[in-house]
Amino acid sequence: MVIVGGTAGIGLSAALALKEIGVSLAVFGRDDDFFTKATALLGPETLLIKGDASAQNEIESFFNHVINRFGKINALYHVAGGSGRRFGDGPLHELSLEGWNKTFEMNLTSLMLSNQMAVKHFLKQQSGGQILNLASVLAYSPSPHFFSTHAYAAAKSAVIGFSKSLAAYYAKDNITINVLAPGLVETPMAQRAAQDPTIIRFIQSKQPLDGGRIAYSEDLSQAAIYFLTSASSFVTGQVLAVDGGWSVTEGQL
């Protein structure tokens, strides 16, 4: 099983949960510090490769390493992405072209490349396969006061449309493609929000489950296991919100 963006946060939590149930893993990640930690946690039996998920040659090389090591691929979880805020993402009237392009590169181009490689191998293997892509509740449930990054919302909306289109096309090949859409999760990307007391108070009403809190990466892991194993073999083209109630509550400023 392949996890692209699996060396930190949501991806690493999923990798650890999958390792616990005996799944053979290949993990792709970028950040040096997180890569070192993931290597220690996942152990030598896990194939870990460092690189840029939005670079076609690096993704292709990673998948070749996976095939050489394990012989085949049966599932892909694409987690890699990130905020383009530091590049100029924000409200439309402030959005820079660099912010737009970089946000789409991180969140959509990388996903297209990994999905493409997985599908090519599934078709070659004639084995079917499973893909799980990570979107966000911001794709369809905006929160304009605190989370006004319009390129990010657009990119995550595109993840859903892209995944559904793939699911429809490749269902005949027994390839399933589904999406997880989390609310605010305690990850390296979310530190701006997680360290802001005003946003934390907002989240207490916006994500009211379990007392009102930011999600833990582990909150998504069991859902990921469902979509990446035979438990979901008759499910495709679906979006599951793991959001603590975000998408069904107003939230109080």
Query: Which entry of 140, 152, 216, 226 is annotated as an active-site residue?
Result: 152
Q: How do residues 47-81 score in pLDDT, each as one tens digit?
A: 999 999 999 999 999 999 999 999 999 999 999 99
Per the CATH hierarchy, to which homologous superfamily does domain 2-248 belong? NAD(P)-binding Rossmann-like Domain (3.40.50.720)
Q: Which residue has the higher pLDDT, 54 or 187?
A: 54
Q: Which pLDDT does position 16 carry in this prediction?
A: 97
pTM recorded for the entire structure = 0.96
Residues 108 and 155: beta-carbon distance below 8 Å: yes
Is 152 one of the catalytic residues?
A: yes
Distances (CA, A) of 215 to 19, 181, 188, 220: 21, 12, 13, 9
